[in-house]
Structure 1
Amino acid sequence: MRDVEKTIGNLIDKVDVSFVGSIDSEGFPNQKAMLPPRKREGIKFIYFTTNTSSMRVSQYKENPKACVYFCDKRFFKGVMLKGTMEVLEDSDSKEMIWREGDTMYYPLGVTDPDYCVLKFAAHKGRFYSNYRSEDFDV
């Protein structure tokens, strides 16, 4: 892969579904489909919205190890990023990725206590394309 950040960034920007992984209290992996990221800083930091009351938030607070997976179904390409997930509940973070229409999920608005931001920090990745996989550092 010539330009890791550009190749992976383009893939992330095109997805309509993201998959996030967490570790439960028994040490088993858990996977969940989510809406696409709201923001990304290169491929190092990726931001999602979720409910503070969700099972995933409690798992990340207990164990921040995480992975995210993005795939392009049309061209059968995918990338898994491994790293850590931080739960952000401060007003600056919440306002940073808030969008009009989010009251559908968070009826009390940007200050809704059941609205938080997940900030994923990637450390390593694995890209699949053209019948082969390639590991890379982020």
Structure 2
Amino acid sequence: MAHPRYRPSGAEPRRARAVRPLRGPAGARHVRRYPGGQPRKPGRSGVEQRRKPGGGGGCAELRGGDPDLDSGGSLPDRGRVAVGSRSGRLKVLSVEGLLSVVRATVEQAEYGFFVTLNASGAPDVRLMQHFPPEEDLSVCLGTSRGSRKVGEVRNDGRSALAFQDPVETAYTALYGLARVRDDASAKERYWREEWSAFWPAGPGAEDYVLIEFVPHRIELMNLSRDIAPDPYGLRAVTLIRKGDRWEPAEG
């Protein structure tokens, strides 16, 4: 199936496996660095930030707690989503709470899969290191100007990002539009010092550019929080952007 195996109620979450250091933002050798030298420990009630000091913007830290609004089974309005749960009762979740879980899933992931369309319309997929999402859940990625993904984004901005949280048995997939940015202020803001090994000139390097991704549709599943629509996670919760707000998808 496309989603993780459903875990019986009361089972302990599986611990994430140790992952070998990957190679830079899109393949070059890269060694993970953590604040204070300690590995990040994903959890249910908080996430760490990875933005530059003084960078401004960035996303707010997830507030702890469950996104439930009601367990009584009333029909949801446009700000609520009804899902099934392992207890068999209808569970109603707030869109705001679901978006908080989406944000946490993106932030806890060190890497995500970025999907673009090639000239024939087929998808190309690669694993990339991303920056924390902004308030509108847009995500920036650093890469080489001459990379395949940059050419594909310029040709067709339709794209997707996917992230996994193995601790909570969760994933989120974001679908939207991407564009290439090479303005100096954005490149300075979205930069990692360890990337100097690939761009010695720093964020001002001619070859260094950004891909800015803005989602318009989100799919989410989180079995630790019972976010898995009835019957028992055979499809993900889906949210659609309508102007400046998010709403549950129809059907």
- Give the TM-score normalised by the residue count of structure 2: 0.52
DSSP 3-state at the match of 1:12: helix
Q: Across the two proteins, how many residue pairs are aligned to each other?
A: 137
CA deviations 1:42-87 (Å, max 9, x no partner) are 3531111111111000000000000000111222210100000110
Counterpart pick for 1:106 among 196, 199, 210 = 199
Counterpart pick for 2:237 among 111, 134, 138 = 134
- Distance (Å, rounded) in 1 between the aligned partners of 2:136 and 2:98: 9
Aligned to 2:101: 7
Whether the 8 Å CA contact 2:176–2:213 is kept in 1: the answer is yes
Q: Could you tell me how far 1:10 is from its partner in structure 2?
A: 0.7
DSSP 3-state at the match of 1:75: coil
Higher strand share: 1
Aligned to 1:19: 113
Consecutive unaligned residues in structure 2, runs of 5 or more: 1-92, 224-231, 242-251
State the AA in 1 paired with 2:102.
I
Counterpart pick for 2:163 among 39, 45, 70 = 70
State the AA in 1 paired with 2:190.
I
Whether the 8 Å CA contact 1:9–1:43 is kept in 2: the answer is no
Counterpart pick for 1:51 among 139, 144, 149 = 144
Aligned to 2:125: 31
Aligned to 1:96: 189
Whether the 8 Å CA contact 2:107–2:133 is kept in 1: the answer is no
- Distance (Å, rounded) in 1 between the aligned partners of 2:219 and 2:160: 11
- Distance (Å, rounded) in 1 between the aligned partners of 2:167 and 2:199: 33
Write out the 4+ residue segments of structure 1 that deviate beyond 4 Å after TM superposition: none
Q: Could you tell me how far 1:96 is from its partner in structure 2?
A: 1.2
- Give the TM-score normalised by the residue count of structure 1: 0.92
CA deviations 1:91-122 (Å, max 9, x no partner) are 01101112322211212211111111111001
Counterpart pick for 2:217 among 119, 124, 129 = 124
- Distance (Å, rounded) in 2 between the aligned partners of 1:60 and 1:33: 16
- Distance (Å, rounded) in 1 between the aligned partners of 2:192 and 2:118: 30
Counterpart pick for 1:80 among 173, 178, 202 = 173
Q: Could you tell me how far 1:137 is from its partner in structure 2?
A: 1.7
Higher helix share: 1
Whether the 8 Å CA contact 2:217–2:240 is kept in 1: the answer is yes
Identity %: 19
- Distance (Å, rounded) in 1 between the aligned partners of 2:99 and 2:135: 6
DSSP 3-state at the match of 1:27: coil
DSSP 3-state at the match of 2:103: helix
Consecutive unaligned residues in structure 1, runs of 5 or more: none
